[in-house]
Amino acid sequence: MSSKSSPRELTGKKKLTKHDDEALRFIELAENGTDPATIDASEELAKKPLCTYTYRTLFRTFNYKGMHVLHHSAKGAHVTLTHHLVEFLGIDVDKKDSTGRTILHIAVPRNSGGYFGHVLAKLEPSIDMKDNLGLTPLQLSILLGKYAAMQKLIDFGADIHIHSLYGGPIHAAVALDDEIALEALMRKTNTRLLL
């Protein structure tokens, strides 16, 4: 058995859906040096005469909500899929959806510290990008009370001084009377919180 795990093994799922299986088959072929442009989307699609999609085309399109497959992988906190989309297919880690959200904005509600840790350490996205409302992922994590995501963002150097229409992260923590967030932000600035 090789020391390198396949993407299929890394999913940790016992039973894969048809879509999971197709995506993993594509990733495995791409890792083995097969040109992604030559791989048909599926056996069924290839049989249809009007279907000219390839995986490269499918992985570059947005759905009706303006979300890319990369955004869906972030929404589900799928570390392996996100990593493979960026590393092997060259999809921009800072790609925005129709509302200006990056994968960091989208992953905040899941509050997965493991997902944030991997994405921030391995893929190095721009951590302080604003969405169309002017919110950074750090500000969003504070507003939603997602402390695992907030702490990872702070640990990886999110700027706590960036302001939006709603103020900065500290304004959000104070407005929500969120002592946990405020304490984490104060530690970042080496300021003691007197309560």
| Residue range 91-149, pLDDT digits in tens | 888 988 888 999 899 889 887 778 888 888 888 899 999 999 999 999 999 999 999 99
The per-residue pLDDT of the chain, averaged, comes to 76
- What is the per-residue pLDDT for 153? 92
- What is the per-residue pLDDT for 44? 44
- Between 43-57, 83-97, 121-135, the lowest mean confidence (pLDDT) is in 43-57
Residues in the chain: 195
Q: Where are the alpha helices (DSSP H) in the chain?
A: 7-10, 18-31, 43-47, 55-58, 69-75, 79-87, 103-107, 113-118, 137-144, 147-155, 169-175, 179-188
154 burial (CB, 10 Å; 0-12 / 13-18 / 19+) is buried
Rounded average pLDDT over 20-26: 66
- What is the per-residue pLDDT for 1? 43
- Between 60-69, 80-89, 160-169, 173-182, the lowest mean confidence (pLDDT) is in 60-69
- What is the per-residue pLDDT for 77? 85
- Domains of the chain, CATH where assigned: 16-126 (1.25.40.20), 127-194 (1.25.40.20)
DSSP 166: T
